[in-house]
């Protein structure tokens, strides 16, 4: 009898454990992202649908403890009462119970916009892989759907609503559609098409003709806007994040061939042509995290010279170098007694978010000054043009914005003290080293003229 009771006890324990394990295994997962849109009339909560969830519980944090707001919400959106605390958590539940509660507030206040949706390459790599990245502001949810040429579809619905990167394997021509929703249900979409490698690559052995084609059959995915020719050398970037130099081979002074000299890996992609500064190449690049950088490398061997700190946004435009000598219209006597104004020399960097920085050419990590354009919406995608008036004294940047306007902005100037004033300061002033200091305050550059295209 005792043996039978023991067997029954073990059997019942086994059932209880299995039921417990089954319920735990089938328990709903917690929402990955919970986004909050503050509003005086009542905060709006939106969360990603949780796997296996049948309903959700919403709680708020009041006086040091969690209080239930609604224990049975069927959707993935909820408007809190105006008196709510501002700190919330959403828990996914099913017939077996609820997931572990987590506070995951992501407060959103910026305008709704898809800032970028891009891939690391226009076709897959040798392994059939491609990376797709996004940057979004003000969104409640973001999802991506992949559609292949043979009609199959795949979805990623619980993506980071701000930014991220996903890797996917492609076996045929495919498109990726990003869809972002704001807190009011409004949506916007962007589409990327990615090609696969051809099954039977065709080697082009055609005649080049009379034109020089140094990158013919190179197989490189060249960023066309990045190509710079200088002293029979070509400098260019590829979409894979590398910077190259090609040089010529000559016979009897005639170019007969081109060959690769060096190439260096970069932390991002160079979108516009570099500029030459003495024996160095200065270039801007944009990175997948939405930030940018400015770097310099030696022309001869590609060895890196210096780099700036990461910038607050992508840097798509080329840098502009200003290195103007003091005015030739002033005599030695004038400069001895009178202060003058010269344009501010340095490496001008035009960020996509509209910020202009002037960097020290000898060390790009040093920011000499920062500016923004006053009175217009400026987003620098193309490189501003630099013009000089007939006197050679006044320089202007010619810019274009997304509102189809062009406008002129004078290159900023700085005051140069007279020779006698500078000498007196050295004799009787402080012993501090007379070096330019970084101005931490962003200055406004006024628009001199503007025209609608």
DSSP state of 185: S
| Phi and psi angles of residue 439, each rounded to the nearest 5 degrees, phi first | -90, 110
Distance CA 160, CA 33 (A): 7
Segment 362-369 shows an average pLDDT of: 94
The residue with greater pLDDT, 211 or 298, is 298
Residue recorded with tokens 């620098």: 380
User: Residue 437 has what pLDDT?
Assistant: 44
CA-closest candidate to residue 355, choices 334, 338, 374, 370: 370
Distance CA 334, CA 341 (A): 12
User: Residue 376 has what pLDDT?
Assistant: 83
What percentage of the chain carries pLDDT values higher than 90? Answer: 44
Tokens at 431, concatenated:
């012993």
Q: Residue 178: pLDDT band by 50, 70, 90 thresholds?
A: very high
Residues 6+ apart with CB under 8 A from 63: none
The alpha helices in 327-434, defined as continuous H runs, are 332-337, 419-428
CB contact at 8 A, 284 and 272: yes
| End-to-end alpha carbon distance in the chain | 99
**Mean pLDDT, the chain, whole residue set:** 82
Using one digit for the tens of pLDDT, what is the confidence trace for 21-34? 444 445 556 677 88
What percentage of the chain carries pLDDT values higher than 70? Answer: 79
Torsion angle (degrees, nearest 10) of CA 169, 197, 219, 223: -60
Q: Indicate if the pLDDT at residue 226 is higher than 70.
A: yes
The residue with greater pLDDT, 292 or 403, is 292
SS3 12: helix
User: Residue 439 has what pLDDT?
Assistant: 52
Burial class from Cβ neighbours inside 10 Å (0-12, 13-18, 19+) for residue 285 reads: buried
Domains of the chain, first to last: 34-107 (2.60.40.10), 113-194 (2.60.40.10), 228-452 (2.40.128.630)
Q: Residue 345: pLDDT band by 50, 70, 90 thresholds?
A: very high
Burial class from Cβ neighbours inside 10 Å (0-12, 13-18, 19+) for residue 93 reads: buried
Q: The pTM is what?
A: 0.53
Burial class from Cβ neighbours inside 10 Å (0-12, 13-18, 19+) for residue 348 reads: buried
Q: Indicate if the pLDDT at residue 431 is higher than 80.
A: no
């Amino acid at each position: 009898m005792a043996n039978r009771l023991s067997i029954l006890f073990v059997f019942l324990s086994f059932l209880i454990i299995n039921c417990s394990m089954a319920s735990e295994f089938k328990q709903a997962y917690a929402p990955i992202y919970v986004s909050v849109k503050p509003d005086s009339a009542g905060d709006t909560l939106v969360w990603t649908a949780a796997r296996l969830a049948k309903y959700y519980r919403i709680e708020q944090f009041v006086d040091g403890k969690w209080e239930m707001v609604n224990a049975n919400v069927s959707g993935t959106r909820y408007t809190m009462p105006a008196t709510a605390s501002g700190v919330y958590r959403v828990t996914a539940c099913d017939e077996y119970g609820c997931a572990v509660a987590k506070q995951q507030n992501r407060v959103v206040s910026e305008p709704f916009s898809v800032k970028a949706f891009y891939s690391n390459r226009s076709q897959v790599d040798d392994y059939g892989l491609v990376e797709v990245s996004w940057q979004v502001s003000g969104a409640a949810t973001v999802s991506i759907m992949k559609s292949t040429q043979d009609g199959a579809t795949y979805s990623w619905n619980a993506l980071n609503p701000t930014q991220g990167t996903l890797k996917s394997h492609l076996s045929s021509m495919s498109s990726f559609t990003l869809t972002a929703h704001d807190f009011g249900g409004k949506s916007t979409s962007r589409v990327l098409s990615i090609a696969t490698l051809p099954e039977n690559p065709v080697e082009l052995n055609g005649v080049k003709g009379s034109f020089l084609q140094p990158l013919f059959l190179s197989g490189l995915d060249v960023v066309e806007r990045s190509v710079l020719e200088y002293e029979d050398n070509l400098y260019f970037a590829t979409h894979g994040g590398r910077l190259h130099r090609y040089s010529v081979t000559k016979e009897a002074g005639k170019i007969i061939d081109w060959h690769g000299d060096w190439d260096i890996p970069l932390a991002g992609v160079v979108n516009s042509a570099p500029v030459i500064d003495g024996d160095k190449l200065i270039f801007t690049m944009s990175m997948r995290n939405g930030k940018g950088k400015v770097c310099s490398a030696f022309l001869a061997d590609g060895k890196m010279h210096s780099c700036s700190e990461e910038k607050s946004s992508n840097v798509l435009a080329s840098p502009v170098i200003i290195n103007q000598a003091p005015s030739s219209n002033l005599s030695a006597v004038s400069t001895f007694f009178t202060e003058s104004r010269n344009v501010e020399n340095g490496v001008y960097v035009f960020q996509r978010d509209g910020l202009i920085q002037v960097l020290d050419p000898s060390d790009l990590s040093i920011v000499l000054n920062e500016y923004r354009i006053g009175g217009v919406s400026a987003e620098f995608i193309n490189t501003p043009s630099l013009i000089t008036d007939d006197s050679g004294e006044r320089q202007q940047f010619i810019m274009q914005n997304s509102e189809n306007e062009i406008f002129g902005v004078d290159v900023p100037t700085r005051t140069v003290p007279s020779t006698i004033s500078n000498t007196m300061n050295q004799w009787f002033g402080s012993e501090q080293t007379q070096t330019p200091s970084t101005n931490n305050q962003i200055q406004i550059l006024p628009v001199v003229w503007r025209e609608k295209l």
